């Protein structure tokens, strides 16, 4: 099983990254928290990996920190939460926010994540509340770098694609991105997504 990748960042999008390790490109699904922390294309990158094996595919899920990967593994152990749902959760909230919501039985906060209904949120709290205390210590992801200076329409399209892939309705995602775009002049995919997710969680 692949548990760790170290190499050059060949390509990155809001939901995926391709890491060149000795001439072999590994496509890795990533949460937005990890996307925010990736450097520019061509820079060195290290990712903690979860390898998901299905009959028809082998998928890699990558995380910038061990803390995120540990939480992810606990999330997908809950009935009804699959590998993609786990990524969506870590995209919608930082590891610290999810852990805080679990510990405080904050079902309303957890159900703001696409695909997480009340029953799933209740299962998460019951199964994980007492298990999240042993997750590797460390701060949640922080903004690193301001991202690439793409044309505004390209930034908007990338952000919209990321939100739709996370399970948000296209109309709702477009409205949130429009609102986020009006609030600031410095348009990067990272900043648009971060603000749009805050608006969608209200």
State which of 33-37, 121-125, 164-168, 182-186 shows the largest mean pLDDT. Answer: 121-125
Which is higher by pLDDT, 142 or 129? 129
The CATH code belonging to domain 67-134 is 1.10.150.20
130: Cβ–Cβ under 8 A, 6 or more apart, which residues? Answer: none
pLDDT of residue 42: 93
Domain spans of the chain, in order of start: 4-63, 67-134, 152-200
Which is higher by pLDDT, 32 or 153? 32
The CATH code belonging to domain 152-200 is 1.10.8
Which is higher by pLDDT, 141 or 189? 189
Q: pTM of the entire structure?
A: 0.72
CB-based contact 33:91 (threshold 8 Å): yes
Which is higher by pLDDT, 115 or 67? 67
Q: Which of the residue ranges 31-45, 134-148, 172-186 would you say has the lowest mean pLDDT? A: 134-148
- In tens, the pLDDT along 58-103 reads 999 999 988 899 999 999 999 888 888 899 888 878 888 888 889 8
pLDDT of residue 59: 93
| Tokens matching residue 23 | 């001439």
CA distance 133 to 156: 38
CA distance 176 to 166: 14
Closest CA to 201 of 115, 70, 83, 110: 110
Q: Three-state DSSP class for 100? A: helix
Q: Three-state DSSP class for 96? A: helix
Q: Three-state DSSP class for 63? A: strand
4-63: CATH topology: OB fold (Dihydrolipoamide Acetyltransferase, E2P) (2.40.50)
pLDDT of residue 62: 96
Is the pLDDT confidence value at 145 over 60?
Answer: no
pLDDT of residue 100: 86
């Amino acid at each position: 099983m692949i548990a760790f990748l170290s190499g050059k960042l060949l390509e990155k999008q809001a939901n995926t990254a391709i890491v060149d390790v000795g001439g072999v490109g590994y496509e890795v699904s990533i949460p937005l928290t990890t996307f925010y922390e990736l450097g520019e294309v061509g820079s060195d990158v290290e990712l903690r990996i979860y390898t998901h094996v299905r009959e028809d595919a082998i998928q890699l899920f990558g995380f910038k920190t061990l803390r995120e990967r540990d939480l992810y593994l606990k999330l997908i152990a809950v009935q009804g939460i699959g590998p993609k749902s786990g990524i969506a959760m870590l995209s919608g909230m930082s590891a610290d926010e999810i852990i805080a919501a679990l510990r405080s039985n904050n079902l309303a906060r957890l159900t703001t994540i696409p695909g997480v209904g009340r029953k799933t949120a209740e299962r998460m709290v019951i199964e994980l509340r007492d298990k999240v205390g042993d997750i590797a210590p460390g701060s949640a992801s922080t903004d690193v770098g301001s991202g690439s200076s793409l044309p505004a329409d390209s930034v908007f399209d990338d952000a919209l694609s990321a939100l739709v892939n996370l399970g948000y309705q296209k109309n709702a995602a477009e409205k949130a991105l429009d609102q986020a775009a009006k609030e600031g002049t410095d348009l990067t995919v990272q900043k648009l997504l971060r603000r749009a997710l805050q608006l969608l969680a209200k």
